[in-house]
Structure 1
């Protein structure tokens, strides 16, 4: 009798689960069959985080431009390779001279992170020599828009970033500039550009009262000049480190960079995290090498091979499937505690890029990364249902001509269906 009762309960639970999935499938099918989706390309995959059951699947094997959903892969790479604190510098101290090289750490005097670990360390040395030969990358990613050079979201990648590789200019009685090395390079003139394309000459409109954040052109000599201006001492330059065992100086907790990258969709930090990861693997900074390493090792089981060309998602050359996204989100979910994982991702209605959308009724129910380029909007992450179930999802929408606000509204309706009915 007990066996029959147990079997009956199992059948009822399975029937309820099938019924829930059928209701969701019907609602989603009706939504996607509307005329709104006729001229765009949409892919969706939703799975139960615990049972791995597929709740909904639509074009999940097809490739999409992910935009900033690419940062989910960058996060996985960093979490897999980097220690709890970010390696800031590698150095050898010999004959009263400190030889050091950059690791790509973006936190050095970053305007929002404001870490001074490397600065304080270098200030306490008698003689410093900068080894600038381990950067084996390009300053921009493949397919980045050429005219983005002047905008805050597109700083150059570099071996030893300082101040996020941007200048900050704002007006009090006079124009204030940080780093101060560039104070004479900012002209109070109206210009259609914030900076000359090929030189570090910047423009600040006399009528402006905003803080202007503009990338500067990086080079070994510029890095040395900024360092000398900050340290108030001469800095030597060599192409490679002397022979000897390198030591590592660490800076900020790694999670502080992960949260900044995911909450603010910080492109610069995303790119630099790949470079730091590369420096941990083989002492050189090459983002392609670390992407290849991750795909061939930790992500060799992906059902479709992504085309992954940068860390931030600025490039339209990136191609990922919803199955790719859900697979990596699932790996993160199994490797990281839920509290830590959900703190790294923006929470709907509460934090980061989702602060003003996808709000829950009492508590956040969405913890996800959005990604947008013109005519593209993606959202991938985790959803907690009213029944306490955890879902992993990826919604990828490409090539639409409707307002992105309408795209998000329809997506939110589907997310609420998942929250309320599963």
Structure 2
């Protein structure tokens, strides 16, 4: 059961535009260092048990959040989606099965191995027609870097993703293999490659000495989706402009939604984040439009957020996103009071043990003290989440670093030193 939701009223004993703390812990000294002079740094530390802000430095200032955006996407999914992933919408007539996507990212995904849609379509004896009229978003998010289009972390968004919207290329017994096999003739082996894929064509380029498995996003279209479905199912799938009726039914995946959230948060999967936001939009409207999900969450669930964010995508790939440490702490606090702690901590990566935090923030005797989400873009690194002190208290924090010229490793060392100090002295 969810715990009681407490009001989120900060006890302000300082000016947030500067740096200050309530008594009981010395944090300010960690920021009195010329290391921070030529970067933008914001930090907020909050005690949810006492409903009290312990320390804040530039906590009401806006920062580029990078993948800390996924904390808001997680909140949207937990509020709007069911415990199982909505896999497909469908409607049958006398002679045709009409289907449309829900944004479900699991279909033929190489990690999840979900068979719900595959088995459903294989068992269907009628002709199958795919309607794509409910997708009202762009394939790339606002403010994404165009140069990222051929790299694994930037697949296109779509109503009916297949194979994670990437072609997987690997070498087996000296031969190049692809998943899906449909793209095998589109892979070109070259001595020198500039980019893994052509800008406007599904022509892929791999090196002659290929050793690692490559995941390369492909260009989507309703026609290509139908071709991939037809090739996989060994039956013809048609495109249609016919919209499904309001009486359409929903097929659910066998995969729990928490598995999706955990994967998104552990490895900072941008594709999953974008699709979770699209599925959230479908839960509140008739169209897959991420802006509708964002507007609904901010207006319906987060009207009291201290500083309204500029939130434009699900993954944080966009540099248009702007969040404050205080607003991130606000949402983390909502999550903490609305979800069972055990469930919440399973979704976040654990310091020293899992995901993007496996190499950092190691706890004593192998016991994690940090459950958090990192976020990194060039010259930007942030970390926000939950910290368990040596005395057993749970604290919520957001530590944001923007526009630095130091190596990111040096920034992480400073962050870890401070968070360990808080762990040991609060």
Greater than 6 Å deviation, 4+ residue runs: none
Contact 1:92 1:244 in 2 (8 A): no
State the Cα deviation string for residues 142-185 of structure 1 (Å, max 9, x = none). Answer: 11111101100000000100000000000113111001111111
Does 1:398 find its partner at 2:415? no
Provide Cα deviations, 1:171-228, integer angstroms capped at 9, x if missing partner.
1131110011111111122321111110000012111111111000000111010000
The CA deviation at 1:281 is 1.1
Residue among 181, 186, 204 paired with 1:202: 204
Residue number in structure 2 paired with 1:103: 102
Q: Deviations over 1:376-402 (max 9, x none)?
A: 111000000010000000001111111
In structure 2, relative to structure 1, the CA distance for the partners of 1:244 and 1:271 (3 Å cut) is: closer
Partners of 2:165 and 2:277 in 1: how far apart? 16
Q: Is the 8 A contact 1:134 1:240 kept in 2?
A: no
Is this contact kept in 2: 1:24–1:421, CA < 8 A? Answer: yes
Superposition TM-score, scaled by structure 1 size: 0.93
Question: 5+ residue gaps in structure 2?
Answer: 1-20
Counterpart pick for 1:379 among 378, 383, 386: 383
Specify which structure has the higher proportion of helix: 1
Q: Distance in 1 between matches of 2:379 and 2:29?
A: 23
TM-superposed CA distance for 1:24, in Å, is: 2.5
Other-structure match for 2:183: 182
- Which residue number corresponds to residue 211 of structure 1? 213
Please give the residue correspondences for 1:88-99 in structure 2 after superposition, counting only pairs within 5 Å: 88-99=87-98
Distance 1:242 1:80 in 2: 25
1:303 Cα deviation (Å)?
Answer: 1.4
Contact in 1 for aligned 2:186/2:203 (Cα 8 Å) = yes
Larger radius of gyration: 1
1:277 aligns with 2:284: no
Would you say the 8 A contact 1:263–1:344 is kept in 2? yes
3-state DSSP of counterpart to 2:207: coil
Secondary structure (helix, strand or coil) at the match of 1:233 reads: coil
- Distance in 2, Cα, partners of 1:418 & 1:206: 50
User: Match for residue 12 of structure 1?
Assistant: none
Q: Residue in 2 aligned with 1:292?
A: 295
2:141 matched to 1:137? no
Residue 242 of structure 1 and its aligned partner are, at CA, apart by 4.2
1:243 Cα deviation after fit? 3.3
Distance 1:244 1:142, change over 3 A: closer
> Cα distance, 1:115 vs. partner?
1.1
- Residues 97 and 125 of structure 1 are in contact (CA less than 8 Å); yes or no, is this contact kept in structure 2? no
Aligned equivalents of 1:40 and 1:209: distance in 2? 38
Aligned to 2:124: 125
Deviations 1:312-341 (A, max 9, x none): 000111000011100000010011111110
Matched, 1:408 2:407: no
After the TM superposition, which residues 110-259 of structure 1 pair with which residues of structure 2 at under 5 Å, given as runs? Answer: 110-126=109-125, 127-172=127-172, 173-190=174-191, 191-243=193-245, 245-251=247-253, 252-259=255-262
What corresponds to 1:11 in structure 2? Answer: none
1:305 to 302, 305, 308: 308
Bigger shift: 267-276 or 46-55?
46-55
- Residue in structure 2 matching 1:263, options 261, 266, 281: 266
Distance in 2 between the 1:304 and 1:244 partners? 38
CA-CA distance at 1:369 after TM superposition: 0.2
Matched with 1:14 is none
- Mapped to 2, the partners of 1:133 and 1:83 lie a distance apart of 24
Identify if the C-alpha distance between structure 1 residues 242 and 357 changes in structure 2 by more than 3 Å, giving closer, same or farther.
closer
| Residue equivalent to 1:318 | 321
Is the CA contact 1:325–1:394 (under 8 Å) kept in the aligned structure 2?
Answer: yes
How far apart, CA to CA, are the structure 1 residues paired with 2:272 and 2:246?
30
Q: Which moved more, 1:85-94 or 1:187-196?
A: 187-196
For normalisation by structure 2, the TM-score amounts to 0.92
Distance 2:252 2:264 in 1: 19
Counterpart of 1:340? Answer: 343
C-alpha contact 1:100 1:241 (8 A) present in aligned 2? no
1:3-152 aligned within 5 A: 22=23, 24-25=25-26, 28-126=27-125, 127-152=127-152
Q: Distance in 2 between matches of 1:52 and 1:345?
A: 22
Contact kept in structure 1, 2:157 and 2:275, CA below 8 Å: yes
